[in-house]
Amino acid sequence: MTTDTKPLAVSDDLKQRLRRDFGDWVADPTYDTRIEAADRIEALEARNAELEAGLHPFAEAAELALISGNPPGNHVDANRFLKARALLKGTDHDG
């Protein structure tokens, strides 16, 4: 059984909010971070969709690793992860 997957569209509003909240890795001009950040945001949304659909048992840890650039386990990164998930789910209202 094969499944066609398409990249998820990332709204400009979501990109701006993630840049505001995670600007240290999204807007760093010393890297070609804009492309990298867009890739990370798309991967984050795809993994979030997998998690919501119950398709990927380790999607939550993968999301955390994508956001933080580090392995899961650091409480600061976990806070960032929770904030990004709230943004993706539309449950964050402080912006």
Please state the domain extents for the chain.
12-89
Closest-CA residue to 45 (of 76, 18, 25): 18
HSE toward the beta carbon, residue 44, CA cutoff 13 A: 27
> Could you give the 3-state DSSP secondary structure of residue 75?
helix
Determine the average pLDDT of the residues in 59-80: 58
Averaged pLDDT score across all residues of the chain: 62
47 in Cβ contact with 35 (< 8 Å)? no
Q: What is the pLDDT of residues 31-64, one digit of tens each?
A: 555 666 677 777 777 777 776 766 655 656 666 6
Mean predicted confidence (pLDDT) in 16-38 = 60
